[in-house]
A and B are shown apart, each in its own frame.
Chain A
Amino acid sequence: MIELIHLVKNFGEIVAVNDVSLTVPVGEFFALLGPNAAGKTTTIKLIAGLVKPASGCARVAGFDVQTHPLEARQRLAYVPDFPFLYDKLTPWEFLRFTGQLFRMDEERLERVAGELIQRFNLEPYLGKPIEGLSHGTRQRVAIASALLHAPEVFVLDEPMVGLDPHHARVLKDILKERSQQGMTIFVSTHQLSVAEEMADRIGIMHEGRLIAVGTREELREQSGTAGALEQSFLSLTAQEARQREAAAAAEA
């Protein structure tokens, strides 16, 4: 479970995340959408404990990421849009390294790594240095390593970037499957089709605020549009922008 309670984060005078409150229950697949600079990545960084909130708190599996970071991180997996990998290691060595950081025992590590390698079709690359792999393969290595310790909460920033249709499908299937098994999944993406197809609930951020949260149908109702998610998204963000402009004009 992920709980965000009145989360605020400032970058100088800019409020990147503005009083965001949200609960993503166990086993839910949550997709966060929003235009560029809406605050999605900062929200994810706050969940991952990479930055400290100005106020409010983020909880992962019941643990506050600021006051109980190790407990929270033990239950969390985070894959950024361009994940860091040790270039001179092979995928196999990298998987082992990650598993050891999570203090997995040898037997479990080898078994789970073997399953993930097979699932992500990584066998042909296991002995090659990561520096020589394509972006898509590196992305698969990163996601496999993140899933290794069976996290309760999985946070991904633009996970489909660089994946070919086959492996994008594989990843979607794995995420759906894990979500059904009880893993909480939090994805930030610009690909509306991913959110539409996969997410149980969708959140829309705009200028640091969470302006709408709900199922596909609930968003359609809130926006007063019919049809694809794209129309709801555009309508909701446009409404919010208009309201902001009106408020600014009234203030002026």
Chain B
Amino acid sequence: MSASGSGPARGSRGALWLLIQVNTRQAWRRLLAVQEQSRLLTALIGGFMAGYLALAFFLFYKGLRFAGTFPGLGQVLVERMLFLLFAFLFVLLLLSNLVISYTNLFRNRETLFLLPLPVPAQTIFQWKFIESTLLASWAFLFLVAPLLAAYGLTQDVPWHFYPLTVALLGLFLVLPAAAGAWAAVHVARRLDRRAFQVVALASVALMIAASAMWFKPEPFPEEQIETRVLVVLDRLLFKTRFAQFPWLPSYWLSAGVQQWAEGALTAAAFFALVLLSHVLFFGSLLFTRMGERFYLAASAAQSRGSVLERWGWFRAWQTRQRNLACRRGLVERCFAWLPGVAVDVRALLVKDVLVFWRDTTQWGQTLVLFGLLGVYILNLRHFTQNLTTPFWIYLVSYLNLAACSLNLATLTTRFVYPQFSLEGKRLWIVGMAPLGLPRVLLTKFALASGTSLVLTLGLIQLSCHILHLAWERTLYLSAAVVVMTFTLNGLAVGLGALYPNLKEDNPSKIVSGFGGTFCLVLSFLYILGSVVLLAMGSPWTRRGAPPPWLAASCWTGFALLSVALGWAPLKLGLRRAARFEH
């Protein structure tokens, strides 16, 4: 028998059932606690979800209708979009399952608690696999539900299409989950956490770069401008052929859904059976053969130094770092150049920058979000010669402003909002220093705003440059994004101090509380309101400059909104910090 205890799995089913029960009870109580803690939060989350579902359904419905009416090619386009969407979602699910399984299997305290108990490693793996699948897949279901409802409605399908689709989705989800969990176990045996993060980020960056290259639009000569739609469609269909590769599980799902919608029930049943057979095969392998591998990987994950240490250059670099450890680091030397910054404030800035840099999650997510936006804006240059009408230029410039701000709102809520709560656990250091908590808060605000500005202002400048906007329009949009950056950071810092969670060490758990959700919703509402007001008050609308009273009202509205959602929360947060009892 092996160390995993995968031999005589005594009562393993009972143990699995116990684990499911106890974790379900935990999850249910968490939900109840949220509801009891704040009805407003429950209403906010409920409203937000319902709003998303309704809006997504509406947009998918309109989009599918629009694509379906394309002369001669409507059905082909709709079909290809469906295959493409599921193919991309399959890759995303694969990555998300890999990351979540890795964390859940090897960096989870429940796993460490269970390993010394008389529970077979196979059972622990089974439970963690179920948990990881649920964690990685719920958002997928939330995302595709309105699409499939809209697809069903546009195709005028019978009622049984909907339950069958749910069943197909359920089967489909198991495959990326199984592949992700299997990969996570093998990755954990060979890579430590940091190496894994670096490899994962490099893979994502490579995929983004490859996609950007593959989907790069090609310019058209003037003489083809009239017939370009057909050429574009032809190229598009060619470049997206990979989504119909018959060995992709997403192909079986898409084909099953499509065939059922068209009434070809036998063909749909065939694809459903293909999915089912793969799920049963890989599922049974995973449920019966992974215990030993999981145990060995868990042991390796807990008992190794960095895998990078096998390389001489890394060891030499570490030795050099150790020798330099007692000297001032690069970040500190850079900040020393900042004039007029007190030593204590500088120390706080250096600490925050180092923490950000050493947390791969933080800079990784920032890089991915803004990297994607950068790739998109850079690709706009291929369209600019087709963006000939002022209306499209006007629309795209404001859409870019909205996209940039939405990205920023995601990051401020995820990383800036929990800053005060995270500091809360270290209040014995920062809170007791003569610096004072309000100045700590202001320093965090300044650092977050300064860093964000480099990204948002840079992207907006790039967008204006690529859209060939005149300098006064560039100035208008740049001023807008500067105000929005300060407001979003002020909101996150202020609400972070107003709704602190000092018990929690995990930033994602801090964000999922009332304050974090409130911050995200307010940020989104602010962006929506601001972009609408700025677009309406813009002197360069399709119909020319708006009447002076309208422009003035819009700008005043934008300023008031920014004060109410940026300055006011920050002010309240500072007041709270000044009176903070710890």
Chain A hits for B227, CB < 8 A: none
Report the stretch among B50-58, B111-119, B387-395, B413-421 that lies at the interface.
B111-119
Contact of A103 with B116 at beta-carbon distance under 8 Å, contacts A11-B303, A84-B110, A88-B29 already known: no
B30 interface residue (CB < 8 Å to A): yes
Chain A hits for B22, CB < 8 A: 86, 89, 93, 97
B360 interface residue (CB < 8 Å to A): no
Q: Is the CB of B112 within 8 A of A101?
A: no
Q: Is the CB of A66 within 8 A of B3?
A: yes
A190 interface residue (CB < 8 Å to B): no
Q: Is the CB of B305 within 8 A of A76?
A: no
Q: Is the CB of B15 within 8 A of A101?
A: yes
Q: Is the CB of B8 within 8 A of A51?
A: no
B160 interface residue (CB < 8 Å to A): no
Chain A hits for B304, CB < 8 A: 11-12
Q: What is the size, in residues, of chain A's interface with B at 8 Å between Cβ atoms?
A: 40
Q: Mark B302-314, 1 if CB is under 8 A from A, else 0.
A: 1111100100000
Q: Is the CB of B303 within 8 A of A51?
A: yes
Q: Is the CB of B3 within 8 A of A69?
A: yes
Chain A hits for B116, CB < 8 A: 48-50, 73, 76, 78
Q: Which of A98-126 contact B (CB under 8 A)?
A: 98, 100-103
Contact of A70 with B10 at beta-carbon distance under 8 Å, contacts A11-B304, A13-B309 already known: yes
Q: Is the CB of A69 within 8 A of B25?
A: no
Which residue among A14, A70, A83, A84 has the maximum number of chain B CB atoms within 10 Å of its CB? Answer: A70
Give the docked Cα–Cα distance between A74 and B306 (Å).
34
Chain B hits for A89, CB < 8 A: 22, 25-26
A6 interface residue (CB < 8 Å to B): no
Chain B hits for A167, CB < 8 A: none
Chain B hits for A10, CB < 8 A: 303
Q: Is the CB of B117 within 8 A of A101?
A: yes
Give the docked Cα–Cα distance between A49 and B503 (Å).
31
Q: Is the CB of A51 within 8 A of B113?
A: no
* Nearest-Cβ distance from residue A88 to partner chain B, whole angstroms: 4
A65 interface residue (CB < 8 Å to B): yes
Of all chain B residues, which has the CB nearest A79? B116
Q: Which of B1-44 contact A (CB under 8 A)?
A: 1-5, 7-8, 10-11, 14-15, 18, 22-23, 25-26, 29-30, 33
Give the docked Cα–Cα distance between A199 and B179 (Å).
50
Which residue among B113, B119, B309 has the maximum number of chain A CB atoms within 10 Å of its CB? Answer: B113
Of all chain B residues, which has the CB nearest A45? B302
B120 interface residue (CB < 8 Å to A): yes
Which residue among B14, B22, B300 has the maximum number of chain A CB atoms within 10 Å of its CB? Answer: B22
* Nearest-Cβ distance from residue A64 to partner chain B, whole angstroms: 9
Q: Is the CB of A100 within 8 A of B18?
A: yes
How large, as a class, is the contact surface on chain B?
35 or more
A52 interface residue (CB < 8 Å to B): yes
Of all chain A residues, which has the CB nearest B29? A88
Of all chain B residues, which has the CB nearest A82? B109
Across the interface, A102 reaches (CB within 8 A) one of B117, B298, B303, B305, namely B117
Of all chain B residues, which has the CB nearest A98? B117
Q: Mark A169-197, 1 if CB is under 8 A from B, else 0.
A: 00000000000000000000000000000
* Nearest-Cβ distance from residue A127 to partner chain B, whole angstroms: 13
Give the docked Cα–Cα distance between A93 and B121 (Å).
23
Give the docked Cα–Cα distance between A221 and B123 (Å).
50
Which residue among A11, A52, A68, A98 has the maximum number of chain B CB atoms within 10 Å of its CB? Answer: A52
Chain A hits for B26, CB < 8 A: 86-89
Give the docked Cα–Cα distance between A97 and B19 (Å).
9
Of all chain A residues, which has the CB nearest B111? A84
Give the docked Cα–Cα distance between A52 and B295 (Å).
9
Chain B hits for A51, CB < 8 A: 299, 302-303
Of all chain B residues, which has the CB nearest A131? B503
Q: Is the CB of B309 within 8 A of A70?
A: no
Q: Is the CB of B305 within 8 A of A13?
A: yes
Q: Is the CB of A50 within 8 A of B302?
A: yes
Chain A hits for B117, CB < 8 A: 73, 98, 101-102
Give the docked Cα–Cα distance between A131 and B33 (Å).
12
Give the docked Cα–Cα distance between A109 and B354 (Å).
50
B296 interface residue (CB < 8 Å to A): yes
Q: Is the CB of B3 within 8 A of A11?
A: no
Give the docked Cα–Cα distance between A49 and B274 (Å).
41
Chain B hits for A102, CB < 8 A: 117-118
A138 interface residue (CB < 8 Å to B): no
Give the docked Cα–Cα distance between A113 and B76 (Å).
66
Q: Which of B247-299 contact A (CB under 8 A)?
A: 295-296, 298-299
Of all chain B residues, which has the CB nearest A46? B303
A9 interface residue (CB < 8 Å to B): yes
Residues of A within 8 A of B (CB): 9-14, 16, 42, 45, 48-52, 65-70, 73-74, 76, 78, 80, 83-84, 86-89, 93, 97-98, 100-103, 129, 131
Pairs of residues from A and B, 4 with the lowest C-beta to C-beta distance, nearest first: A12-B305, A84-B113, A84-B109, A52-B299
* Given A52-B296, A88-B33, 11 additional A-B pairs, CB 8 A: A11-B303, A12-B304, A49-B3, A52-B295, A52-B303, A69-B1, A84-B109, A86-B26, A88-B26, A89-B22, A102-B118
Q: List 24 A-B contacts (CB under 8 A).
A: A11-B303, A11-B304, A12-B304, A13-B309, A51-B299, A51-B302, A67-B1, A69-B3, A70-B120, A73-B118, A74-B118, A76-B116, A86-B23, A88-B25, A88-B33, A89-B22, A93-B25, A97-B18, A100-B14, A101-B117, A102-B118, A103-B11, A103-B14, A103-B118
